[in-house]
Structure 1
Amino acid sequence: VPHVAGKGCWSVQNLVSAISQSDAGRRALVPYFQSIIQTLLITSERPDAEVGLKMECYEAMNEILRSSTEENHPTVGQLIPHVLQKLSATLVGQEQMSSDMREKQADAQALLCGTLQVIIQVLGAASQETKEQTLFAHADSLMHAFLSVFSCRSSTVHEEAMLAVGALAYAVGENFIKYMDAFIPYVKLGLENHEEHQVCAVTVGVVGDICRALDDKIEPYCEPIVYLLLRDLGSEKLHRSVKPPILSCFGDLALATGASFEKFLSYVVGMLQSAMQLSANTNPDDEEMVDYNNELRNGIFEAYAGILQGLKLESMDASKLNGIREHVPFVVDFIEAVSKDPNCDSTVTRSMVGVLGDIAKCVRGVGPVFAQKPFWNQFLSECASSPDDALRRDAAWARDNIQKRMNEDR
């Protein structure tokens, strides 16, 4: 009975989730790993397996995949061609299908892409030898399949495939460059998709993944990406939840491309100024807006962190540096205001501390700004007494940089 089988899958999923919380639990699962996977695959292919049962099978399988150990990785790698074959089968003859059948195929594609994402993440964390023997050997086939899925234009599938591509980029690193020419049109489509904002949000996240994978090799593709991100920020149609990650994405791009990002600086800084004004004018009594404002602030600070660290300002000539230096007082004023806001959360606090340190370290001639704005002293002292070890270390680092900069700029 499919209903009973579904309950069995749910039980397996929860059992594995509980057991795999410890290393000992993961090791205990090793002897049963392959047989559980095989049973779930067989169950998902039962003639009476509707979408619900298939979903329960794959969710259970994803859970046990996440619990895998190095001993299981060869088995995980063997799943790739099987899942790819299943995915390819869903892409055949869609033009002749009824809308109901196409919808079912889209659900199946989303499930399979989700499982491939988990497989990629698991193998991406494996040893280099295992990665080369499993993931790298199938990377071309995986990317080809994801590109085929994108052409289906289903938003749910697009989202799942995009997440899988992000995982693949992270796993294969700079080798992902060979897929960029084929992939960039779908990045553009995702960033232009204001109506289905989840797709846009996922695409923004994948741009960050690609930045970390390719580093400065992403530079030839930057211009259209930055243009679309700027357009997204200015769109009234795009859901506001996507906009803080877009700001963070500018930081990823700046960090990856370094000095090449300088040509976008005036546009991006203008958007960051607008975001700071929006944040400053947010109603502190609106609980929903308080949470959003913290996301917005964090996006702003992550953008500045990437810009300050990425542009290699220490070696930038004085004329170009002036544009950044002139903007520093506004950023410091914003940090001062946010630091005094009781609604400011811990993530934002940590980001602010980092940006203060980055400004002091990277921008020559800003010592007087810190001298005129002594709030940082008390703020960093409060952070230095935090129970959070990382925040205490960051606060000490920021203080050292500020004091050094003030001494140098006297």
Structure 2
Amino acid sequence: MEEQLKQIFIDCANPDTTIRTQAEANVNNFKASDYPAFLSTCAQILGNPQTADLPRSMAGLVLKNALTCKDSTERSNLYAKWSSVQPEIRQNIKNLTLAAVASPSPAASGPAAQVVAYIAAVELPTGQWQDLIKNLISMLQPQSPDGQKKATLEALGYICEEVDSSGLKPHSNSILTAVCSGISQNQNPEVVYAGCRALFNTLEFIQSNFQRDSERDTIMGILCTAANSPHIRARTAAMECLVQIATLYYRYLPPYMQTLFGLTVNAIKQDEEPMALQSIEFWSTICDEEADCDYDQYDKRESHHFIRGALPHLVPVLNECLTKQEDEPEDDAWTVVSAAATCLSLITATVEDEIIPFVMGFVNQNINSTNWKLMEAATLAFGSILEANKDKLRDIIIQALPVLLSHMSSQQASVRDTTAWTIGRVCQLHGEIATSGIQHLVGGLGNSLNDAPRVASNVCYAIHYLLEQYVEKAQQPTNPVSPYYSALLGQLFNVIAREDGSQSNLRVSAYETITVLISAGADDTLPTLHQAIPHFIASFASALGSGSSEEKIELQTLLCGVSQAIIRRLPPQALQAPVAGTQSPPLIDRFMELFLSIPSSHSKPTPAHEDALLSIACVVTTIEGEFVKYLNHVMPFLLAGLSAAEDTAFCQTAVGLVGDISRAVGKNFAGHEQVVTIFVQNLQNSAINKDVKPAIICAFGDIALAIGADFERYIPTVMNMLRQAGQTTVDPLNDDQVEYLNQLRESICEAFTGLIIGLREGNGNLQVFFPHIEWIVQFITFVWRDPTRSDALNKGLIGMVGDVLSTFGKNTPSIFFPELKAIATECSKMEDADIKQIAMWCLDMLKKYGA
């Protein structure tokens, strides 16, 4: 098999597609026919120094792919398959791959380092291959060849990246010592680079080492030395470690900040771009950490105010970085310019208006420069600090807007692009100031919608946020948008039709701006909107046809957004009228037809399916009970969404739509309760995303409220689902899990209230709840004792107390009265008026029943 596989591996790299495809098929056939023998042969090829580089490299790649993949489920299957191989065969493979790490050929040692790590990911957590770390460290002797040191450090780095930290705790000290020695005792830059990459992957599980001054000093000293390496890869990797340390160990930085300040500022000023980028990232990370200290009242960390102290020295250096533009920049490229602008924004978020004087001097000096790079840099600097104190910026912005608008006619596209972005930031963050000059802004920006795609896209962004200021003022006879509505709509239609509309997200930006324009239009713009609707309808119908899948999905999604804006903006009578200038059915019928055509335009669920459901929800909200005429047409689409448990967004949106429809059509939802069966199946499906479950539980209550007594036959099943959900537990120290548990419990309270009220008002048999009364009270009292419960949950729990007492009355077992009374008494003392009112009602009932 070995000679055959060697040739097959060579063929796998053949440029001839036919040969390569056949070779890949042969690899899979060998793997399927005798998996252990296949792995053993690959390891023999990888470990054989007499074999050529290409088959050795391919053998390592195939071995790696036999041990891991991106999909977590499939990866677990691969782990299990490896573990099923006989121990002696596995040991032989491990010996061969470990020996290959020491190979002088990088074609073998590099892949072998990865294979070792992926085997370790399977075996170390289960207590196997316990001598691996010791054997690797023994390969890092001072006299070892540099290639061996490099590959060994790579292996240690991969292991630290792939293996759960709990499996490495026993080895953390020896790994750290070996890696630090590998960095500090070598001159070879590739060895230093590999050591820094390995150290980066150890940082999360060496907390105890970092708490000890001497060890921390050693680590920081080694990294600061490596960050001064004459080789760019080595010093950049060292700086990446320092950035990670700023995230993980911010509290320990004060003794080192003087050194780090000099190191980073010098690198930003004069080093190559990779190192300059990491040095800027260091300060951006410091901003994040200090903003978190100030923002999170529960965070026990103390801010060292490094940013405040560095302002006078750091900001001028970042301002200077903004002048280092390329003559023809690539769209979305991450450069020193974009990194510096982002850092200035983060500094602003950290120290607010304290940054203003350090930036505005640079802005005032260069904003009208004849050198376009200085002009653009000043504009970008100004745009980057717009999140500072509004009062402090007000006069500055008022003075700046005319200057910025004049820059929209610059000969340089980069200046126009950055200026449009900056004006957009003004409109987004300082809307009150922007609206005071709407006539100048619309006039100055509208003409630039014909500019290059990246400029026009930012112009759309600016107009979008300018118009957003008027959305809440739309339901008026007229507003300041009205004089520009028709012209803007026409200009945006032209943007959509541009052949280069796919560049720089231009077409998407234009559609989103149209959506906001429709929402912001006052009553006197409705005739113009009516005239435009046939254009939208035709575009939507066209988007249902053939075409690129991604383009079609994007277009359908955007048109759903526009359609929702139209439905919300038009008065109800207009929705019931035909499309303007036609004898077609009512407009709302045409929209529903388009929304329901989206599923048939795709072979599988897409993001457009979710938007179609959201659009239908918009119709439900708008016409309410009249939606019943569409119910039978919608149900197949809705049931498909509910059954798509693997597509979280589609399923969750469908669940929400069930609640909307059932509330809107009431008793007319009877006969469609098959959704209850699907809900139960989804709750029992361990593979479904947990975030869908609270919505499903709430929907039980919505359906019960809608169909009343007809829901009675589902009560035993649903109450069992509530009971199972109520038994969910989480880690009380994990904020995300606690938040989820509160949501789940709130949904149980809401569902129970819906079930009770639905059956009571529908004249159902409330006796069906009596078998569950003990669990209901136990749930209330158990959750009440949880100190992590939310305020919303307090309201839900006291509501359940009221439901129990009003439903069961004197039949409520008196043994529960003391605890229910204690809960109601405590709620009666809360500040929330609704909670107090319900609590007083509960206390009156308890008194009435002799509690």
TM-score, length of structure 1 as denominator length: 0.86
Q: Which residue of 1 aligns with 2:687?
A: 237
Q: Which residue of 2 aligns with 1:261?
A: 711
Structure 2 runs not aligned, ≥5 long: 1-451, 580-584
Q: Distance between the aligned counterparts of 1:56 and 1:33, measured in 2?
A: 17
Q: Which amino acid letter does the alignment assign opposite residue 759 of structure 2?
A: L
Q: Does 1:355 align with 2:800?
A: yes
| Alignment match of 1:148 (pick from 594, 597, 619) | 597
| Alignment match of 2:587 (pick from 135, 138, 148) | 138
Question: Alpha carbons of 1:40 and 1:375: their partners in 2 closer, same or farther (altered >3 Å)?
Answer: farther
Deviates more, 1:354-363 or 1:180-189: 354-363
Q: Which residue of 2 aligns with 1:194?
A: 645
- 8 Å Cα contact 2:599-2:609 kept in structure 1: yes
Q: Which amino acid letter does the alignment assign opposite residue 656 of structure 2?
A: G
Q: Which residue of 2 aligns with 1:327?
A: 772
Root-mean-square deviation (CA, aligned residues, Å) is 2.7
Q: Does 1:228 align with 2:664?
A: no
- 8 Å Cα contact 1:360-1:401 kept in structure 2: yes
SS at match of 2:644: coil
Q: Deviation string for 1:162-202 (max 9, x for gaps)?
A: 11011112222222222222221111110111221110000
Q: Does 1:121 align with 2:572?
A: no
Q: Distance between the aligned counterparts of 1:341 and 1:328, measured in 2?
A: 21
Structure showing greater Rg: 2
- 8 Å Cα contact 1:283-1:290 kept in structure 2: yes
| Alignment match of 1:306 (pick from 754, 765, 770) | 754
Q: Distance between the aligned counterparts of 1:104 and 1:395, measured in 2?
A: 54
**Shift of residue 408, structure 1, vs aligned partner:** 5.3
Give 1:5-404 correspondences, 5 Å limit.
5-20=456-471, 27-50=479-502, 52-92=505-545, 94=546, 97=547, 101-123=548-570, 126=571, 128-133=572-577, 137-151=586-600, 152=602, 153-222=604-673, 224-278=674-728, 281-312=729-760, 315-316=763-764, 320-369=765-814, 372-388=816-832, 392-401=833-842, 403-404=844-845
**Shift of residue 210, structure 1, vs aligned partner:** 0.6
**Shift of residue 409, structure 1, vs aligned partner:** 7.8
Q: Which amino acid letter does the alignment assign opposite residue 122 of structure 1?
A: R
Q: Distance between the aligned counterparts of 2:578 and 2:750, measured in 1?
A: 35
**Shift of residue 275, structure 1, vs aligned partner:** 0.4
Deviates more, 1:189-198 or 1:60-69: 60-69
Q: Which amino acid letter does the alignment assign opposite residue 359 of structure 1?
A: V
Q: Which amino acid letter does the alignment assign opposite residue 624 of structure 2?
A: G
Q: Which amino acid letter does the alignment assign opposite residue 41 of structure 1?
A: F
- 8 Å Cα contact 2:473-2:522 kept in structure 1: no
Q: Distance between the aligned counterparts of 2:807 and 2:586, measured in 1?
A: 42
Q: Distance between the aligned counterparts of 2:771 and 2:605, measured in 1?
A: 46
Deviates more, 1:43-52 or 1:211-220: 43-52
- 8 Å Cα contact 1:33-1:64 kept in structure 2: yes
- 8 Å Cα contact 2:610-2:649 kept in structure 1: yes
Q: Distance between the aligned counterparts of 2:589 and 2:802, measured in 1?
A: 42
Q: Deviation string for 1:294-316 (max 9, x for gaps)?
A: 11111111111110111117944
- 8 Å Cα contact 1:169-1:210 kept in structure 2: yes
**Shift of residue 24, structure 1, vs aligned partner:** 11
SS at match of 1:28: coil
**Shift of residue 377, structure 1, vs aligned partner:** 3.9
Q: Distance between the aligned counterparts of 2:810 and 2:532, measured in 1?
A: 57
**Shift of residue 67, structure 1, vs aligned partner:** 2.8
Question: Alpha carbons of 1:133 and 1:31: their partners in 2 closer, same or farther (altered >3 Å)?
Answer: farther
Question: Alpha carbons of 1:18 and 1:378: their partners in 2 closer, same or farther (altered >3 Å)?
Answer: farther
**Shift of residue 270, structure 1, vs aligned partner:** 0.6
Q: Which amino acid letter does the alignment assign opposite residue 232 of structure 1?
A: N
Question: Alpha carbons of 1:81 and 1:342: their partners in 2 closer, same or farther (altered >3 Å)?
Answer: farther
Q: Deviation string for 1:339-370 (max 9, x for gaps)?
A: 2322211222222222222333334444445x
**Shift of residue 137, structure 1, vs aligned partner:** 2.8
Deviates more, 1:350-359 or 1:376-385: 376-385
- 8 Å Cα contact 2:766-2:807 kept in structure 1: no
Q: Distance between the aligned counterparts of 1:209 and 1:315, measured in 2?
A: 23
- 8 Å Cα contact 1:77-1:134 kept in structure 2: no
Q: Distance between the aligned counterparts of 2:527 and 2:822, measured in 1?
A: 54
Q: Distance between the aligned counterparts of 1:146 and 1:305, measured in 2?
A: 33
Q: Distance between the aligned counterparts of 2:737 and 2:849, measured in 1?
A: 41
Q: Distance between the aligned counterparts of 1:89 and 1:287, measured in 2?
A: 47
Deviates more, 1:163-172 or 1:1-10: 163-172
Q: Which amino acid letter does the alignment assign opposite residue 290 of structure 1?
A: V
**Shift of residue 28, structure 1, vs aligned partner:** 2.5
**Shift of residue 401, structure 1, vs aligned partner:** 4.5
Identify which of structures 1 and 2 has the higher relative contact order when contacts are C-alpha pairs closer than 8 Å and 6+ apart: 1
SS at match of 2:727: helix
**Shift of residue 228, structure 1, vs aligned partner:** 0.6
Q: Distance between the aligned counterparts of 1:365 and 1:214, measured in 2?
A: 35
**Shift of residue 41, structure 1, vs aligned partner:** 2.3
Q: Does 1:407 align with 2:848?
A: yes
**Shift of residue 402, structure 1, vs aligned partner:** 5.1
Deviates more, 1:156-165 or 1:68-77: 68-77
**Shift of residue 284, structure 1, vs aligned partner:** 1.3
Question: Alpha carbons of 1:131 and 1:32: their partners in 2 closer, same or farther (altered >3 Å)?
Answer: same
**Shift of residue 266, structure 1, vs aligned partner:** 0.8
SS at match of 2:687: coil
Q: Which amino acid letter does the alignment assign opposite residue 362 of structure 1?
A: T
Structure 1 runs not aligned, ≥5 long: none
Q: Which amino acid letter does the alignment assign opposite residue 372 of structure 1?
A: F
Q: Which amino acid letter does the alignment assign opposite residue 293 of structure 1?
A: L
Q: Which amino acid letter does the alignment assign opposite residue 283 of structure 1?
A: D
Q: Distance between the aligned counterparts of 2:767 and 2:475, measured in 1?
A: 57
Q: Which amino acid letter does the alignment assign opposite residue 807 of structure 2?
A: C
Q: Which amino acid letter does the alignment assign opposite residue 307 of structure 1?
A: L
SS at match of 1:395: helix
- 8 Å Cα contact 2:708-2:761 kept in structure 1: no
Q: Which amino acid letter does the alignment assign opposite residue 787 of structure 2?
A: P
Q: Which amino acid letter does the alignment assign opposite residue 34 of structure 1?
A: S
